[in-house]
Amino acid sequence: MILSTRRCARVLQLTLAVIKPDAVAHPLILEALHQKILENNFVIVRKKDLIWRRSDSERFYAEHEGRFFYQRLVEFMASGPMRAYVLAREDAITRWRELMGPTKVYRARYTSPSTIRAQYGLTDTRNTTHGSDSEESAQREIAFFFPEFSIDQWLEKEEPCLRVGH
Ligand code: GDP
Ligand code: MG
């Protein structure tokens, strides 16, 4: 879906960002991550604090079922409060993933020490944040976390310059 971009100064993209339970457990880290979102010119479209049941965790990460880390991952993600954001920015998906850094914390520390996962991640499972990896997954994941949020309605009523897939 593309809305007319000619009348818009910027073309924004939506992504889902999640601060995982390991980071939410530390108020200073949670605050630092919130600041990082703002400093990097993301618009916070929606924000929600929530706790998953294990079944939510299993559903969200179904693509990883059978992998050696799956049980650890679903247990961890249901272990405490999380904070989810719908973020908007130019190239929001790529930019948020760049800020997070590589999935594996030890690789992140070695290759990209200034990234979120390098700075705050505890282990490869407890790696601080999640970010959508494509426009398709952004749409699916935003709907998963924010079922009451209608992208179409938001486009129409609040932000006419958004791109959510093409
Ligand atoms: P992401 O998109 O960078 O979060 O990475 P993936 O989609 O591949 O994996 C989802 C989540 O599973 C990661 O964020 C980690 O929490 C966990 N995970 C992925 N790969 C590994 C791994 O090799 N070891 C462990 N322990 N956890 C992993
Ligand atoms: Mg992923």
Domains in the chain: ranges and CATH: 12-163 (3.30.70.141)
The answer to the question of whether 117 is labelled as a binding residue is: yes
- Work out the number of other CB atoms within 10 angstroms of the CB of residue 146: 19
Atom of ligand 1 nearest to the CA of 100: 3
**Does ligand 1 come within 6 angstroms of the Cβ of 124?**
yes
* Residue 140 CB contacts under 8 Å (≥ 6 apart), including other chains: none
The three-class DSSP label of residue 34 is helix
Beta strands in 12-156 (DSSP E): 12-19, 43-50, 82-89, 129-131
Can you give the pLDDT of all 166 residues of the chain as single tens digits?
Answer: 443 344 466 688 999 999 999 999 999 999 999 999 999 999 999 999 999 999 999 999 999 999 999 999 999 999 999 999 999 999 999 999 999 999 999 999 999 999 999 999 999 999 999 999 999 999 999 999 999 999 988 888 877 565 554 3
Q: Return d(Cα 97, Cα 102) in angstroms, integer.
A: 8
Sort strands 162-163 and 12-19 into parallel, antiparallel or unpaired: parallel
Top mutation candidate among 15, 22, 58, 69 for ligand 1, by most atoms within 8 Å of CB: 69
Write down the pLDDT at residue 160.
59
The answer to the question of whether 48 is labelled as a binding residue is: no
**Does ligand 1 come within 6 angstroms of the Cβ of 133?**
yes
Write down the pLDDT at residue 162.
59
Q: Which of 141, 129, 147 is nearest to 14 (CA)?
A: 141
Q: Return d(Cα 77, Cα 75) in angstroms, integer.
A: 6
- Work out the number of other CB atoms within 10 angstroms of the CB of residue 18: 22
Q: Pick the residue whose CA is nearest to atom 15 on ligand 1.
A: 125
The answer to the question of whether 127 is labelled as a binding residue is: yes
Write down the pLDDT at residue 6.
45
- DSSP code at position 82: E
In order of 15, 19, 78, 163, the CA distances from 151 in angstroms are 11, 21, 26, 10
**Does ligand 1 come within 6 angstroms of the Cβ of 103?**
yes
Top mutation candidate among 59, 73, 96 for ligand 1, by most atoms within 8 Å of CB: 73
